[in-house]
Structure 1
């Protein structure tokens, strides 16, 4: 107890403002459990930067934890770019304090002699990624907690390639931050080094997005596509309607009750398009308007959820793996039609995503590359392979990146790609849903399911740690009656064939991920979330689909298999 109490008492000193002093003293006096929650650890970087609950303390998002990060990054930039004019660009989302935090971050950068560009109002994360290279910056900062609950905020760090921090920069910066005291933060801003951006960067981004996803469809096909869209109270309301209009999609219905940015996200339980409830109002409006598609994005505009008409004419939600596979198919098919596929082209996805991505990509004779979870790793693939040409790629968590002009998942261009695909298929008397079934018939019916177990606070963190240790030390020998044939442990970087006892090294950075494969191709992955207090289980099963008439039967069989696997694993 003394450790976190001692840390709390440091926040009563003159290094911190009087309001912070009072709030910390109130926590100490109340002997609240919140005191331990706020100080038992230092908030760290995960797969999507730093996210946490706002409040006072080392385990919270506040002026000082963000200030310490920014001071460390400032010091690091000076050491690695000694002869360059240092520049950073900053954007923020709709959350409580995001704008204030953005300006506090700009203050620290400018106090360290670094030019800080800042967007005047909330903007989606993909624009921040784009603007890093567009403005020639060495670094970019996005103030966002993505789809986390309203009490959260966060801090994503982008490097000069437009991608989020990866090794070696991430560990070097974390080391720099950890070496600092809070008293080392320089908040004395230089106003002449803070520049509020005009709309030229956004215009350049929208122009590039339309150019990047343009398959020269007839104008009539675009007008005939009926789209319903919701920004779920987030940032994409500033970009998606403009983008669709520029691309020729005029038949657009907006969910007006969710179009106003609101940090409380009052109309949804969770502003996460991974959650089916998030698109309820969009589906309701889409049914009223007889839309072909209902689309929603998360608060910072990098993830998208889609509902399409199924074979009964009902709107059915697609999961992240399905949308990723469909978008990849469409990109590859259009490039095949134009005879523009080359040996240097590649598609990217992540280790917990559907195996169908590899099967589909290789069927087109294109290189498939796999990374750890998180788009920063896909961006690193692009950066590390300058002789290869990236086409597109995604991950199961509802993110996709079309082309490499943005180096992070981008719901804006992904939405435009989906609309191009849907418009063309509709003009040919087909649909997105029918095309998905066609893919299953040709390449195998793969069905995925995600189980996320929420474990909050210090006890939750210990439970997650214990669960991963148990899975590592006592792996299942069978899953749904199928023998486990291969275990990949990304923490030890070793893959072991259970039957032959042969091992091989995994050539990816170490990560706390376990993946089990059965003799029949069932795949189960387990990992702690890098951005939320969760442990996640990713289940993938597959079967052969011979005809469309068998679809419902095989789909039901695979769903039952997933339920048995969940029972087997006790999740």
Structure 2
């Protein structure tokens, strides 16, 4: 968009539709005619893999009362067009971020102004509890105000449908179409207070009970496990301690410096448990108290980071692929022990997550269903395959879902499950880490690696687009000397066998993702992020491993292999 067009769009925000503070902020941006002006107005915020996420401020490409008001007005219009006979209702939660509470109230006001009943949490709550509450309260939809693990200047907005999962086709496009047709002047902000009900303890207790029911194994020795937990200044402090207590864990040490919810996240550079630095204080406390396991959650408590003791007794951070493999294996062991596996179950994972999950599931004669990146697609599979029972599922980005009572990443229940696994393993003279190593020996040792390249602003978006164009035009024929045999292009729904030339249709929604498989099972994937100004490259390599003693050597060899591939692709 040209500078002239950007200014023209910005000037529309100087009218009486917008409040005085917003008009003044926009006028200052116009006067400065800076890159911030361009980035604020060059496009509208879009629904990505995790809803809407962006910087806070005035503008069409910013999180503010008007962009969220417009999204909510579109949602209200869509709900009312469904012609439900009963009273429609929406449950709303929010996290610790700046303005989350006020934006949540604004969103609630828009809904009640449209005659829709709203259940609003009285204070910040976790994303998994919001997903749970949609079904518990029998709501039409749910909304959570969160920007997950993004920096403090971000906020976001995720919409859930009546099944408790994030919106997917056809509801997503139906809502988005109505949002795009709206003018900001059509937003109804005049709330009907009679349609607003604050909620809290009752739903909290029900969620905790469900989490314990689904996340616990049959154990009697939980006193033997020492846990360190950090909420990284986020919402998990409202749920995780209570869940541990109800499950029977007494030796729980909380990182006090990170206990208080704070949208500035003062003790970490990034409140992301994927980042080792985020768990530094927790690891230090764990060494001080001799903890067996470290649990860290992101601000809205959907992602969980886990550290456990390795064979030498040192704390080792696991990645999302590793934890999901161990969790999936233990869940299937539990189901098998209870004689519940009969060919009518499945586990879920995503196209960029480890292939080891499928190998493990296959050993139990359980089907693995694979979907696009994002837990909304795992939730959709639960709906689409309602004749099957969902055991569990996850993805590489440190998210896991136990059973289907929550239909999104659930750091609370999966953290509890991780502690249950660690407790059981310890009672058997093993450990969480040793259980992972045994899976490597039984199947294959898979090594995954992720590179995220950030390209901010309008120019950055164009560069990311061009990188995908170039990769499609110059797809690799070999990767680390291995012939590429399959090329998956999810944007065009085509899988091409590069050996035979045969093309087959990919039966998934379109998504801007490229994946290349070599003859030896090496995989490279490229995908622009749906919620951040990043393009992500995923690498997966694997090798046989004859014994636990050779794990370190094989893992090092695979790490070197990944670095060769990265260099080969000029990344």
TM over 0.5: yes
Q: Where does residue 215 of structure 1 map in the other structure?
A: 217
CA distance in 2, matches of 1:114, 1:275: 40
CA distance in 2, matches of 1:488, 1:363: 26
Q: Does 1:503 align with 2:506?
A: no
What SS does the corresponding residue of 2:306 show, helix, strand or coil?
strand
Deviations 1:489-532 (A, max 9, x none): 00010000111101111111100000000011000111000111
User: Deviation of residue 263 (structure 1)?
Assistant: 0.4
Q: Does 1:186 align with 2:183?
A: no
CA distance in 2, matches of 1:198, 1:393: 28
Deviations 1:295-348 (A, max 9, x none): 100000010000110111110000000000010011011211222212111000
- Superposed, 1:385-404 pairs within 5 Å as 385-404=385-404
Large movers: runs of 4+ above 3 Å: none
What SS does the corresponding residue of 1:45 show, helix, strand or coil?
coil
Q: Where does residue 290 of structure 2 map in the other structure?
A: 290
Q: Where does residue 40 of structure 1 map in the other structure?
A: 42
User: Deviation of residue 4 (structure 1)?
Assistant: 1.0
What SS does the corresponding residue of 1:554 show, helix, strand or coil?
helix
Q: Where does residue 440 of structure 1 map in the other structure?
A: 440
Deviations 1:383-431 (A, max 9, x none): 1111100000000000000000011110000011001100000011101
What SS does the corresponding residue of 2:343 show, helix, strand or coil?
coil
User: Deviation of residue 84 (structure 1)?
Assistant: 2.7
Q: Where does residue 200 of structure 1 map in the other structure?
A: 202
Q: Does 1:158 align with 2:157?
A: no
CA distance in 2, matches of 1:39, 1:6: 9
Q: Where does residue 266 of structure 1 map in the other structure?
A: 266
CA distance in 2, matches of 1:216, 1:310: 25
Q: Where does residue 174 of structure 2 map in the other structure?
A: 172
CA distance in 2, matches of 1:568, 1:320: 26
User: Deviation of residue 33 (structure 1)?
Assistant: 1.7
Q: Where does residue 317 of structure 1 map in the other structure?
A: 317
Among residues 137, 140, 147, which one is paired with 1:138 in the alignment? 140
Q: Where does residue 72 of structure 1 map in the other structure?
A: 74
User: Deviation of residue 276 (structure 1)?
Assistant: 1.2
Deviations 1:43-64 (A, max 9, x none): 1000000000000000000000
Deviations 1:11-47 (A, max 9, x none): 0000000111111111111222211110000010000
Deviations 1:107-165 (A, max 9, x none): 00000000011000000000000000111110100000000000000000000000001
What SS does the corresponding residue of 1:11 show, helix, strand or coil?
helix
Structure 2: gaps spanning 5 or more residues:
none
CA distance in 2, matches of 1:439, 1:54: 44
CA distance in 1, matches of 2:479, 2:75: 46
Q: Where does residue 29 of structure 1 map in the other structure?
A: 31
Q: Where does residue 528 of structure 2 map in the other structure?
A: 528
- Superposed, 1:146-545 pairs within 5 Å as 146-218=148-220, 221-545=221-545
User: Deviation of residue 569 (structure 1)?
Assistant: 1.1
TM-score normalized by the length of structure 1: 0.99
CA distance in 1, matches of 2:149, 2:233: 11
User: Deviation of residue 75 (structure 1)?
Assistant: 0.5
User: Deviation of residue 241 (structure 1)?
Assistant: 0.5
Deviations 1:332-379 (A, max 9, x none): 112112222121110000000001011110111001100100000000
Moved more, 87-96 or 22-31: 22-31
What SS does the corresponding residue of 1:327 show, helix, strand or coil?
helix
CA distance in 1, matches of 2:35, 2:136: 46
CA distance in 1, matches of 2:513, 2:19: 41
CA distance in 2, matches of 1:198, 1:300: 16
TM-score normalized by the length of structure 2: 0.99
User: Deviation of residue 446 (structure 1)?
Assistant: 0.6
The count of aligned residue pairs is 569
Deviations 1:185-220 (A, max 9, x none): 0000001111111310111111111111222201xx
User: Deviation of residue 244 (structure 1)?
Assistant: 0.5
Q: Where does residue 17 of structure 1 map in the other structure?
A: 19
